[in-house]
């Protein structure tokens, strides 16, 4: 999967991933104690949706464009609207009302939630993307941009001094080995910082790699692991991105219920063809008996 994010910014995978990210960050801000976000594959920070790359595929129009349009038209159920509000507020702050020209990557989203004592370490190994990220986040003493391999960062910066926070692992999946690196490095990091929240994003073309990742994570023996997936089309054509998932270690206690309310709405709104959208929220380890995969109305 050759993944240059400028081509895909704001697509359906970003909407899913960043909506969940905002729920986790919102939870962290509910307590006064400081927290730290470690973004292992941070990207370039903010993306121009009018750029040649973004326009070539136009993927944002079927993702954030569709969501913002539905919100503006009052088409979101009240519960989903409330859960999406922090995410949509971040996007709205970057754009003029009624237009979407800029889309925030995960470090820009995280910055919007930082309070005076909170910190962000944004890691990006690609030099041009790292330099762009540095320009966008400069003059903010709460943030450090590191030109470092994300897999090394996953274990280098834990545990953080604050002992609260999130490690976001969102690799480009340019190599099949990235699936194995996720589970392996999660095990290493968790041994150093067992109480941190970890969110691991992965693409879904077919079930094989996603299910194998879940199986390896189960074998790590971590006490609480929640899995959430959003599909926008059926898995007939496994040469394309049909959806994506997040594995969340030590999820906020509110997250499972929030995702059960939010993901059916996103599946219905973002599906590529009628009946193509579906979602899953279940536990790989911990809290409850796994919940079966659901269709958008479920």
Catalytic residues: 170
Contact 4, 231 (CB under 8 A): no
Report the C-alpha gap between 147 and 270 in whole angstroms.
34
Query: In the structure encoding, which two tokens stand for residue 233, read together?
Result: 């089309």
Q: Residue 228: helix, strand or coil by DSSP?
A: strand
Report the C-alpha gap between 15 and 9 in whole angstroms.
9
Q: What is the dihedral of CA 109, 113, 119, 124, to 10 degrees?
A: 0
Q: What is the dihedral of CA 251, 253, 255, 261, to 10 degrees?
A: 160
Q: How many CA atoms lie within 13 A of 170 on its CB side?
A: 28
Q: Which residues pair with 247 in a beta bridge?
A: 200, 227
Burial group, residue 3, by CB count within 10 angstroms (0-12, 13-18, 19+)? middle
- Say how many residues make up the chain: 298
Query: In the structure encoding, which two tokens stand for residue 172, read together?
Result: 């480009």
Specify the residue for token string 């001094």: 161
């Amino acid at each position: 999967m050759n993944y240059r994010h400028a081509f895909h910014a704001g697509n359906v995978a970003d909407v899913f991933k960043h909506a969940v990210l905002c729920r986790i960050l919102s939870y962290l801000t509910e307590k006064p104690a400081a927290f730290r976000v470690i973004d292992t594959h941070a990207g370039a920070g903010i993306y121009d949706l009018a750029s040649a790359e973004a326009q070539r595929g136009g993927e944002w129009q079927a993702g954030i464009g569709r969501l913002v349009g539905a919100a503006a038209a009052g088409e979101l159920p009240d519960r989903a609207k409330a859960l999406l509000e922090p995410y949509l507020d971040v996007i709205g702050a970057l754009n003029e009302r009624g237009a979407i020209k800029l889309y925030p990557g995960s470090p820009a989203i995280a910055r919007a939630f930082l309070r005076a004592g909170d910190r962000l370490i944004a890691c990006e190994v690609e030099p041009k993307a790292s330099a762009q990220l540095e320009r966008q986040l400069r003059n903010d003493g709460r943030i450090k941009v590191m030109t470092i391999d994300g897999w090394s960062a996953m274990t280098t910066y834990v545990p953080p001094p604050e002992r609260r926070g999130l490690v976001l692992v969102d690799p480009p999946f340019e190599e099949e080995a990235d699936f194995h690196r996720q589970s392996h490095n999660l095990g290493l990091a968790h041994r150093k910082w067992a109480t941190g929240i970890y969110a691991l994003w992965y693409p879904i073309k077919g079930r094989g790699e996603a299910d194998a990742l879940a199986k390896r994570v189960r074998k790590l023996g971590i006490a609480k692991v929640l899995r959430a997936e959003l599909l926008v089309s059926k898995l007939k054509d496994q040469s394309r991105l049909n959806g994506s998932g997040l594995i969340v270690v030590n999820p906020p206690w509110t997250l499972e219920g929030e995702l059960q309310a939010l993901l059916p709405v996103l599946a219905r709104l973002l599906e590529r063809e009628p009946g193509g959208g579906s979602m899953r929220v279940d536990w790989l380890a911990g809290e409850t008996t796994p919940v079966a995969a659901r269709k958008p109305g479920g």
